[in-house]
Amino acid sequence: MERAFDAPMPEACGLTESGAGTFAARLPPRVRKPGGVGLPLAAETAVVDEAGRGLLQGAEGEVIVA
């Protein structure tokens, strides 16, 4: 799509409970990570373990949004 229309098409994702667009990838010229969820958009977010404790960047866990 980006090549066909010569326009950036960043990945974005959201949680049903919080509305569309909870996270979005960076726009060029910033570096994007294909398959990543991107950066939070106007929400407090964290990744936590089963006990609700915050995890370090890169760890797998549950996404919470406030």
Owning domain of residue 59:
1-66
| Tally of domains in the chain | 1
**DSSP codes of every residue in 44-59:** -EEEE-TTS-B--TT-
Its pTM stands at: 0.62
Digits of tens for pLDDT over the chain (66 positions)? Answer: 889 999 988 888 877 777 667 888 888 888 888 777 788 887 788 899 999 999 998 899 998 888
What confidence score (pLDDT) does residue 31 get? 85
